[in-house]
Structure 1
Amino acid sequence: MKLIVLDRDGVINVDSDDYVRSAEQWQPLPGSLAAIARLNRAGWQVAVATNQSGLARGYFTEDDLAAMHEKLQRLLAEEGGRVDLILYCPHGPEAGCNCRKPLPGLFRAIATQYGRPDLAGVPVVGDSLRDLEAGVALGCTPYLVRTGKGERTLAKPLPAGTQVFADLAAVADHLLEETR
């Protein structure tokens, strides 16, 4: 089974420094949904690991977040795709949890869900350093996209072996070419 782990905001959908707070505000990035659908058709399982501290901050509710994810799945279905697993950290930065990226709790949960001891070689796609660090802690191969906060992240030291692409569609092109 081929597995890929994606961050959400800035990779799949438009990010906002003021938080994406509703399904109405949740807008896919150009080409991201088609990229996921192409990966699905090629046999990839797609998991999403996302920090959603807006919950802890009171910016939106669990119902709002569920509506965002329902919109994601509905729009993906229209493209012939799906996300197989969505895990999120609802905590704020001060909560001391182990699921908030850059800590690897969400990635451990993904490994457990798929019956794996780790995520060695699994691509992790993110637009921030914390996305990549969380995946690398369990052996993921890091891919940085320039969308979302990606351009800002390029100014920081990246994990060894990080490959940089314009967007999720370019990552999908690369992975699909690589696995032909």
Structure 2
Amino acid sequence: MKLIILDRDGVINEDSDAYIKSLDEWIPLPGSIEAMARLSKAGWRIAIATNQSGLARGYFTQEILEAMHARLAELVAEQGGQVELIRYCPHGPDDDCDCRKPRPGLYRQIADYFGLDSLSGVPTVGDSLRDLEAGVAVGCKPYLVRTGKGNKTANQALPAGTLIFDNLAAVVDSLLEP
């Protein structure tokens, strides 16, 4: 199975230090939706793992988050692709949960969904160190994009083997090269 795990904010859509709190604030990054559709049409299964502590902080509701995710799936579907799974952590940073990245709980949920014993070698794409650390903890291959917080993250000590690309479209180009 060809599976990829993507972060959401800063990889697929614009990020904000003030949080993405409404459907109007959820704005896809140029080329990200098309890239996801190309990957899906090439036989890849797409999963998203995203921290959404804005829920715990009261910045937005479950319904608003679901509307953002429905819009994301709809846009990818309009391009002929499919987002198969979205898993999110609704907790705040002090909640001591296993699903908030950099902990790997969301990745374990994704592995369980797909019936996989291991995520070894599965590409994971993020714009922050915690995205990469969560994936690497379960054997994923880390890809850093320079969108979102990625330029700042690129100056940090990255997990061994991290590949750096300008954006999600460039990652997809690399994965789809013959």
TM-score range, shorter chain: over 0.9
The Cα offsets for residues 130-179 of structure 1, whole Å up to 9 and x where unpaired, read as 000000011000000000000110111000000000000000000000xx
Q: Does 1:115 align with 2:98?
A: no
User: What does residue 174 of structure 2 align with?
Assistant: 174
Corresponding residue for residue 31 of structure 1: 31
Q: What do you get for the CA RMSD once the two structures are aligned?
A: 0.6
Deviations 1:39-70 (A, max 9, x none): 01110000000000000000000000001011
SS of the residue aligned with 2:54? coil
**Counterparts of 2:75 and 2:116, CA distance in 1:** 30
CA distance in 1, matches of 2:118, 2:105: 12
Residue identity in the other structure for 2:77: A
Q: Could you tell me how far 1:82 is from its partner in structure 2?
A: 1.7
Structure 1 residues without counterparts, runs of 5 or longer:
none
1:1-180 matches, within 5 Å, as 1-177=1-177, 180=178
Q: Deviations along 1:51-104, whole A, 9 cap, x unmatched? A: 000000000000000010111111111111121000000000000000000000
Which structure 1 residue ranges, 4+ long, deviate > 3 Å from structure 2? none
Q: Deviations over 1:13-53 (max 9, x none)?
A: 00000000111110100000000000011100000000000
Distance 1:74 1:42 in 2: 18
TM-score, length of structure 2 as denominator length: 0.99
1:156 partner letter: Q
CA distance in 2: counterparts of 1:81 and 1:12, whole angstroms: 14
TM-score w.r.t. length of structure 1: 0.98
Consecutive unaligned residues in structure 2, runs of 5 or more: none
Give the fraction of aligned pairs with identical amino acids, expressed as a percent: 66
State the AA in 1 paired with 2:37.
A
Counterpart of 1:121 in 2: which secondary structure?
Answer: coil
Give the partner amino acid of 1:56: A
How many angstroms does 1:8 deviate by? 0.1
Whole-angstrom CA distance in 2 between matches of 1:33 and 1:19: 20
SS of residue in 1 equivalent to 2:124: strand
Distance 1:93 1:155 in 2: 23
Total equivalences in the alignment: 178
Which AA in structure 2 matches 1:4? I
